[in-house]
Amino acid sequence: MFESLTEKLEAALKSVSGQGRITELNIAGTMREIRRALLEADVNYQVAREFTERVKEKALGTKVLSSVSPGQQLVKIVYDELVRLLGSEQVDINLSPTPPTVILVAGLQGSGKTTFCAKLALYFKKKGRAPLLAAADVYRPAAVEQLKTLAASINVPVYSIEENGQVVQDAVRVAREAVQEARRTARDIVIIDTAGRLHIDEAMMQEVEQIKEAVRPHEILFVVDSMTGQDAVNTAKAFNERLDFDGVVLTKLDGDTRGGAALSIRSVVNKPIKFASTGEKLDALTPFYPDRMAQRILG
């Protein structure tokens, strides 16, 4: 993950290590290299520019400490700014004081949404909760089947509506009834998997809005494939404008993602990244910790 970005940032920061002190002149080249490294990692242009501006300002305004070299000081500043860019703090899911907590999961087709729903169910199960999955991705029968198969492997029930062997294509009804089912069967978390499309699509957005309206979720999570770079940021913006979601889930961080999505999304949509998904297996999900991610980026 982020190998190329890590390498380039390391090289950029090395160029300062021999300097006796930080001056505008001797960090200008480093700042240019950092910015180039970020842009090559597909970080949003504005985000990369502001990032280097802040690092430069801090570096020039920092008192030189005798105990550390200017190079080390600059590494610390870059680290701090990366943590800030990634959101500073880990942010948990909003849980309802009165069960069930309703979590709506949205995103494009192929983003890893269905897999994430099952992962989240397992995550809560391990915490002693009783999740219920709702199969509101009703247009592709394979999607309902996929959710059922994943759920069976972790022993979590799925709510879906089928009549005469056919999936009933009413996502709002599935969501609403799933919440009732959870109340009836004492499940304390409902995770609703919704239909995605390959691209932003009006019908898809309207449907997710209708589900939101019908079940008033405590948490709306937007799932995005981190390999898609700038597209991930644009998709996040479009979903956020319509849904005003609470958090982002970054998937496929195990792939050779360049890092752009991870580094841009938080500051572009101003919503926390809450989970990172790092594999196809259902236990490959971790809460997102900005400081740990910054450490990995810096190598």
Mark the segment that binds ligand GDP (CB under 6 A) among 160-168, 204-212, 251-259, 261-269: 251-259
Q: For residues 86 and 266, is the Cβ–Cβ distance under 8 A?
A: yes
CB of 125 to ligand GDP, least distance (A): 18
Of 161-220, binders to ligand GDP (CB under 6 A) are: 196
Min CB(110)–ligand GDP separation in Å: 5
Other CB atoms within a 10 A radius of the CB of residue 24 amount to 10
149-174: buried (b, 16+ CB within 10 Å) or exposed (e) per residue? Answer: ebbeebebbbbbbeeeeebeeebbeb
φ/ψ of 59, rounded to 5, equals -65, -40
d(CA 125, CA 114): 17
Applying CB under 6 A, does 109 fall inside the site for ligand GDP? yes
**CB within 8 A of 67, min separation 6: which ones?**
none
- The answer to whether 257 contacts ligand GDP (rule: CB under 6 A) is no
Query: Does 280 engage in binding with ligand GDP (CB under 6 A)?
Result: yes
Q: Per the annotation, does 107 bind a ligand?
A: yes
Distances (CA, A) of 48 to 25, 33, 61: 20, 11, 20
Task: Choose, by CB under 6 A, the member of 114, 160, 228, 267 that binds ligand GDP.
Answer: 114
287 binds ligand GDP (CB under 6 A): no
- Per DSSP, the chain holds a count of helices (H) and strands (E) of 11, 10
Q: Per rule CB under 6 A, is residue 252 in the interface with ligand GDP? A: yes
Q: Which is nearer to ligand GDP, 255 or 299 (CB)?
A: 255
- Rule CB under 6 A: which residues touch ligand GDP? 107, 109-115, 196, 251-252, 254-255, 277-280, 284
Binding-site residues, in ranges, read 107-114, 193-197, 251-254
Binding site for GTP: which residues?
107-114, 193-197, 251-254
